[in-house]
């Protein structure tokens, strides 16, 4: 490749602190800017992204606050949504309900989706935050900031902010890297097969961090937290069972002194069927001497090796096949 061509590739696919390299197997066929090309993000998705495309479309969001709800379904795929940093580009909406109809971000059967540098915020409960430390449920209503359902979905340096049920990691193989997640009750929940790497988890009240829904011993789903940092307001549980075979691993993570001594809650499920484990964790909240007796000891086991390996959520190499962020 000539030096001129190399420069052109760099100029076309570089932005901020990431770029698409020549060696990358994925390619970006189209770029859209907000607000330059479209006034609303949903319009850019509906009108600007080709249906059933196997080529990537990059939608670049200028810094600012966007008040709208975004829906991406299986018709639209291979989308990159890139903001100007999670503190600068905020997608906000105020909604609630047991039957989710609206949230800042809704991925319903969407495949091959990437978001970087955006905060997704549901503002419903934030007027009541002052009371959360005094109530187990804080008078909070379900207020999802993002619903993630689909295959091969990744978030880099994104924020998810709400109170109850912040991040609905519903189903599929997902990666959350260097993200910030804030909530109170079940603020990471669902049946995803997901890795959370280098994420910050901010508890804003006495509640539960996770509620994982694995429903059979054959199901591959679970939440794996690698090098997470948990802090904020407590006391809080690391998780409670949302399904009879719920599975959550915290690995080499740091806990502030906000974790309840028992750590986990089976809430009526058979605790012998649950897989809750803490391996090589540190911090004042990482003392397991008073944890529930059914806490799994995974150190040195094949299950630990499996949960930490690409076989867990990247067995077909989808992460490597996506555009890279550097």
Residue-wise pLDDT for 9-66, tens only, equals 333 334 434 444 333 445 799 999 999 999 999 999 999 999 999 999 999 999 999 9
Q: Which two tokens stand for residue 109?
A: 């059967």
Q: Which domain holds residue 72?
A: 28-124+131-145
Residue 73 in any domain: the answer is: yes
What's the confidence (pLDDT) of residue 325?
64
Out of 169, 186, 191, 265, the active site residue is: 186
Out of 165, 169, 191, 265, the active site residue is: 165
Q: Which two tokens stand for residue 180?
A: 């910030």
Q: How confident is the model at residue 4 (pLDDT cuts 50, 70, 90)?
A: very low
Domain identity same for 140 and 196 = no
In angstroms, the CA 272 to CA 266 distance is 10
Q: Is 165 a catalytic residue?
A: yes
Domain identity same for 141 and 190 = no
Report the DSSP pairing between strands 153-156 and 113-116.
Answer: parallel
Q: Please check whether residue 181 is in contact with residue 205, taking contact to mean a CB–CB distance below 8 angstroms.
A: no
Residue 51 in any domain: the answer is: yes
Check residues 98 and 197 and name the one with the higher pLDDT: 197
Residue 238 in any domain: the answer is: yes
In angstroms, the CA 202 to CA 181 distance is 6
The tally of domains found in the chain comes to 2
Residue 54 in any domain: the answer is: yes
In angstroms, the CA 155 to CA 220 distance is 21
Q: How confident is the model at residue 263 (pLDDT cuts 50, 70, 90)?
A: very high
What's the confidence (pLDDT) of residue 106?
96
What's the confidence (pLDDT) of residue 5?
37
Q: Is 186 a catalytic residue?
A: yes
Domain identity same for 244 and 296 = yes
What's the confidence (pLDDT) of residue 100?
64
* pLDDT at 140 exceeding the cut of 80: no
Domain identity same for 196 and 112 = no
To the nearest whole percent, how much of the chain has pLDDT over 70? 85
* pLDDT at 7 exceeding the cut of 80: no
Question: pLDDT averaged over the chain?
Answer: 89
Show which of 112, 145, 178 is a domain's final residue. 145
* pLDDT at 131 exceeding the cut of 60: no
The C-alpha torsion from 164 through 170 and 175 to 181, rounded to 10°, is 0
Residue 33 in any domain: the answer is: yes
Peptide bond into 146 cis (omega under 30): no
Domain identity same for 137 and 215 = no
């Amino acid at each position: 490749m000539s030096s001129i061509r190399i420069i052109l590739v760099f100029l076309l696919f570089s932005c901020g602190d990431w770029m698409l390299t020549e060696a990358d197997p994925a390619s970006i066929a189209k770029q859209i800017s907000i607000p330059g090309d479209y006034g609303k993000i949903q319009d850019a998705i509906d009108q600007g992204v080709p249906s059933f495309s196997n080529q990537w479309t990059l939608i670049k969001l200028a810094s600012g606050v966007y008040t709208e709800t975004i829906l991406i379904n299986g018709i639209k795929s291979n989308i990159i949504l890139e903001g100007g940093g999670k503190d600068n580009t905020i997608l906000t909406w105020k909604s609630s309900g047991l039957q989710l109809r609206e949230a800042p971000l809704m991925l319903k059967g969407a495949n091959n989706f990437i978001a970087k540098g955006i905060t997704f915020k549901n503002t419903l409960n934030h007027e009541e935050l002052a009371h959360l430390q005094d109530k187990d449920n804080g008078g909070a209503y379900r207020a999802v900031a993002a619903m993630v359902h689909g295959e091969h979905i990744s978030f880099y340096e994104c924020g998810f902010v709400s109170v109850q049920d912040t991040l609905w990691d519903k189903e599929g193989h997902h990666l959350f890297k260097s993200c910030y997640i804030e909530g109170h009750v079940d603020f990471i929940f669902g049946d995803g097969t997901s890795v959370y790497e280098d994420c910050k988890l901010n508890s804003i009240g006495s509640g539960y961090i996770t509620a994982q829904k694995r429903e059979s011993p054959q199901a591959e789903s679970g939440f794996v937290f690698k090098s997470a940092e948990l802090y904020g307001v407590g006391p809080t549980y690391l998780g409670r069972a949302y399904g009879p075979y719920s599975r959550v691993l915290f690995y080499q993570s740091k806990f502030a002194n906000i974790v309840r001594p028992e750590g986990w809650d089976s809430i009526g499920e058979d605790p012998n069927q649950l897989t809750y484990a803490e391996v090589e964790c540190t911090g004042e909240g990482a003392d397991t001497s008073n944890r529930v007796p059914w806490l799994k000891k995974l150190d040195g086991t094949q299950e630990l090796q499996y949960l930490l390996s690409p076989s867990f959520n990247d067995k077909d190499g989808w992460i490597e096949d996506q555009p890279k962020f550097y």
